Amino acid sequence: MTRGQLILIEGLDRTGKSTQSAIIAGKLGKSKLMKFPDRTTKIGGIINEYLTDSSFQLSDQSAHLLFSANRWELNNEIIDLLNKGYFIVLDRYIYSGIAYSLAKYEYSKSVQNSGTKSTAIASTTASEQMGDVEWLYCPDKGLPKPDLTMFLTMDLEELGNRKGWGDERYELQEFQKIVKSSFMRVLHHEEDDSVEIVDVNGKGIEAVTELLWNLIQKKGVNELTDKQIEKLR
């Protein structure tokens, strides 16, 4: 039996992930675009509240587990669609899950050291679990592994100049710097050839699409496959 393939676009905020995910899904024909967090589900509603209301308090561990639970809410749908021959483009997924949580740990430590009393980004006391990549990874074990992951990255200066920075929790430039280094720690692109880093610095929308589409073709993930769906282990 053949199936469609799972293509993930990850990246820092404002690098054009959502724009590119929509364009790529359009080029793939029978496809579905899915975005994480999916704020339309039950758990997604809580996540949305957490991201948009800085007075809404959750422990860092609870927030982390909710993002993972949100992926599990859509697990069956993803598998079903792939088996029905749909290509799925994901706008964020597991790597955002680990990288942002890990970044919160580093951020908490720097806040602790600087003596700042409160911050909406993370708890002021760094909890051991948030610095433990293995712990952060565990709840996602068993979810479908993307056939190709493309991580969009750019210089922090250019990122800072981009329009559209909002006031959601995490949308703070000094935090993005930590997020970038956390992503580089968890992507394992050197040993995992399904993970590619794409530098979009100074490139316009069309040029980035071309880079991504070339990679997709090179990896053959725009064609139906008879490979089994891999699971995160």
- Identify the CA nearest to 211 among candidates 1, 30, 72, 24: 24
- Which of these segments, 1-9, 92-100, 111-119, 221-229, binds ligand FDM (CB under 6 A)? 92-100
**178 or 222: CB nearest ligand FDM:** 178
Residue 76 CA to residue 101 CA, distance in Å, equals 25
On whether the CB atoms of residues 196 and 214 are closer than 8 A, the answer is no
Binding flag, residue 107, ligand FDM (CB under 6 A): no
Binding flag, residue 97, ligand FDM (CB under 6 A): yes
User: Least distance from C-beta 18 to Mg ion, angstroms?
Assistant: 9
On whether the CB atoms of residues 182 and 100 are closer than 8 A, the answer is yes
Residue 129 CA to residue 122 CA, distance in Å, equals 13
Binding flag, residue 92, ligand FDM (CB under 6 A): yes
**42 or 227: CB nearest ligand FDM:** 42
Neighbour count for residue 115 (Cβ, 10 Å): 7
11 binds, among ligand FDM, Mg ion, none (CB under 5 to 8 A by kind): none
On whether the CB atoms of residues 137 and 98 are closer than 8 A, the answer is yes
Burial 188-218 (b: 16+ CB within 10 A, else e): eeeeeebbbbbebeebeeeebbebbbeebee
**97 or 144: CB nearest ligand FDM:** 97
For ligand FDM, the binding residue among 96, 108, 209, 222 (CB under 6 A) is: 96
- Which of these segments, 20-28, 93-101, 109-117, 186-194, binds ligand FDM (CB under 6 A)? 93-101
36 binds, among Mg ion, ligand FDM, none (CB under 5 to 8 A by kind): ligand FDM
What residue ranges bind ligand FDM (CB under 6 A)? Answer: 13, 36-37, 51, 67, 92, 96-97, 100, 170
